[in-house]
Structure 1
C-alpha cells in the first residue's frame, strides 16, 4: 500500500512512523527544507519538500492508495488544495484533525491575524507574537519596537522580521517545544503585556502559553481556529491498519 501524507506537524510525523511500521510505502510531503530536516529522521519514509500547487499534488498522488492531510490546523489553502488533488486523482482522502484546546475564559478571541493586529494597534505595551513568520507582515501597522516575534531560526523567518523593520534585539529565534516556565521567562525578560497565539492544541504548545500568560498576568490574544471536518489521529491509524489488512 502506498500512503501519501501531507505533513509538517507533530501528528504527521508520528503518523508516518506508524504507516511505515505497518509496512506501507510512505511518502511525506512537507512545505519547507526545515520540515524536511525533521521528517527525514523518521525511518522508513520518503520525504518530498517544497510548496506544491494542486496539479503537482495530483502527480505525487499517482498510484497512491491513500492521501492524508496532516497539515497545520490553520493551513486552510493547503488543505483545500490537498482535498482537490485527492479528488482529481481519485484517491481516498482523510483529514487529520488536531484536538482543540480549552480556551481561557478571559482570552481575547479574534478571527484572524489581521484582526489581532487591528486590535493591538490601539493598545500599549510589548507584544509576544507566537503565530509564526508567515503572517508577520499583517502586524506592520503596529509599532515595530513593540513586537517580539518568536520564530524558527531559519533565514526565511529572519527575513520576514526584517521586512517589517523589527529591531534585531526583539527577534526571538528559537525552536520549540517551549515549556510554560520558558514562556514565562521570555515574557518577563522582554516586559511582555500581550501574547498572540493560534489554538495549536497540545502539539502546538497552547497550554504552556496559556499557563505562562496566567502566571505572569499578560493578556492572551487567540486567533480562532478555522472550522473543518476530519478525523482523529487514532481513527486514521485504525483506518490505515484496516486498509493494510485488506491488501
Structure 2
C-alpha cells in the first residue's frame, strides 16, 4: 500500500475513452493537476484527451495496481463507458490493494419517457428473443454479440457502429459506420428511411446518443434496452463538475 505525504501534489490517472473523461482531463489540467488518461485501445482512431495518454490494457487488476504504484499516482478515476465492466472491476481491486483513492464518474442512465414503448432486458439473448418476426431493427450495441442478433434471419437489421466489424454481414443486415454525437433530425430521417420498428440499445446515458430515444418515441418505435452491468460499491459522481469538486478538495 502506498503512503501519501502531506501536501503531495495530486497526480491523477483517468481510465477514460468517454467524452466525460476528456472533459475531466481538461478541467483537471486547467486546475494545475498532473493528469494521465488511459485508453483501452479498441478504437483505431480514438479522440485523445489533453495531457499524457497511454493506450492499451494493464494486465488485469494486478497490472493496474502496479502501474499506479510505479508512477506514484495519488488518485484514480474510473470514467470509462458504463458497460466497460472488466476495467471497472479492476479499478476497484487496484484501488483497494494500493490505497489509491478511487472515484467513479458514471453518467446516469436514461429513463423512458412517459409514452415510450420501452422494454428492459438483461442482455443480448433476451433482446434478440424479444424481437418479433419481421422487425426492422436499428442495432446500436456495438460489436459485442452481433452473431446473437444476426441469427434472427426473420428480421432486418441496420447495424450502427463506430468501426467496421470483422465479420461478414448476411443479406438481412446492412452496416452503418458513423461516430456520435447524433442529432434528432438525422435520427428521425434514418428511422423513417429504413422503416425501423425496433431500436436495440445499451443504456449508456449521456447526451451524445440520446437523440435516438427521442426519435424512437416520436415515431412509435419500440426501444429494447440492455441493462447495465452490476458494479461493486465505490465513491461515485454523475457529472464532470461534481468530479472536479471532489478531486480539487
The TM-score by the shorter chain falls in which range? 0.7 to 0.9
- Any conservation in 2 of the 1:198–1:222 contact (CA below 8 Å)? yes
Counterpart position of 1:215: 218
Q: What runs of 5+ residues in structure 1 fail to find an aligned partner?
A: 243-247
- Any conservation in 1 of the 2:184–2:215 contact (CA below 8 Å)? yes
Partner of residue 103 from structure 1, selected from 107, 112, 116: 112
Partner of residue 191 from structure 1, selected from 191, 195, 200: 195
Larger CA deviation: 133-142 vs 69-78:
133-142
User: 1:32 aligns to what SS in structure 2?
Assistant: coil
Counterpart position of 1:48: 54
Partner of residue 231 from structure 1, selected from 215, 218, 237: 237
Q: Which runs of 4+ in 1 moved over 6 A?
A: none
User: 1:131 aligns to what SS in structure 2?
Assistant: coil
Counterpart position of 1:74: 83
Q: CA deviation at 1:101?
A: 1.9
Matching of residues 116-127 of structure 1 within 5 Å: 116-120=127-131, 122-127=132-137
Matching of residues 29-178 of structure 1 within 5 Å: 29-32=38-41, 34=43, 37-39=46-48, 42-43=49-50, 45-52=51-58, 53-62=60-69, 63-105=72-114, 106-120=117-131, 122-143=132-153, 146-152=156-162, 154=163, 157-160=164-167, 162=168, 165-167=169-171, 170-178=174-182
TM (norm. structure 2) is 0.84
Greater fraction of residues in helix = 1
- Any conservation in 2 of the 1:8–1:72 contact (CA below 8 Å)? yes
> 2:35 aligned with 1:26, yes or no?
yes
Q: CA deviation at 1:159?
A: 0.9
The change in CA–CA distance for 1:55 and 1:7 in structure 2 (over 3 A counts) is same
CA RMSD after TM alignment: 2.2
User: 2:62 aligns to what SS in structure 1?
Assistant: helix
